[in-house]
Amino acid sequence: MTALNSSILRRAVLGGLAALAFGSVTLASPAFAEDKPSVIRIGSTAPGHLKFILERHNGTLAKEFEKDGIKVEFIAFTNGGSEATTALATGAVEFIYTGNNPALRVAAAGADVNAIGLSSFVKENGSAIIVRSDSPIKTLQDLKGKKVAYLTGTVRHSTFAKALKSAGLSLNDVESLNLAFDASGPALVRGDIDAVVESGDVAAKLVDTGQARVILDASSHPEWSAPFLISANGEFVRKYPDLVKRLLKVDIETARWADAHPEETIKIFVDETKSSEKSVRKTYKENVFYQDPKITPEALASLKSEEQFMADAKLLKGSVDYDKWIDTSFLDAAYKDVDQKQSN
Along the chain (344 residues), what's the average pLDDT of each consecutive run of 10 residues? 45 50 44 77 96 98 97 96 96 97 96 98 90 98 98 91 96 96 97 96 93 95 93 98 98 98 98 92 93 97 94 92 98 96 78
pLDDT of residue 318: 96
What is the pLDDT, as a whole number, of residue 123?
A: 83
Strand order in the sheet with 113-120: 71-77, 39-45, 95-98, 228-233, 113-120
pLDDT of res. 201: 87
Q: What is the spatial distance between Cα 288 and Cα 60, in angstroms, rounded to a whole number?
A: 21
* pLDDT at position 16: 53
Which pLDDT score, from 0 to 100, does residue 26 have?
A: 41
Q: What is the pLDDT of residue 153?
A: 85
> If phi over 0 gives left and psi between -120 and 50 gives alpha, with beta otherwise, what is residue 59?
left
Q: Name the E strands within 172-268.
A: 175-178, 195-199, 212-217, 228-233
Angstrom CA distances, 240 to 153, 244, 272, 296, 298, stand at 30, 7, 31, 25, 29
Residue 160 near residue 125 (C-beta atoms within 8 A) = no
Domains observed in the chain: 6-121+227-343 (3.40.190.10), 127-224 (3.40.190.10)
Q: Both ends of the chain: CA-CA distance in Å?
A: 31
Q: Which backbone phi and psi does 83 adopt, to 5 degrees?
A: -65, -40
Question: C-alpha 224: how far from its chain's center?
Answer: 16
Average pLDDT over the chain, rounded to an integer: 91
Answer whether 291's CB lies under 8 Å from 258's CB: yes
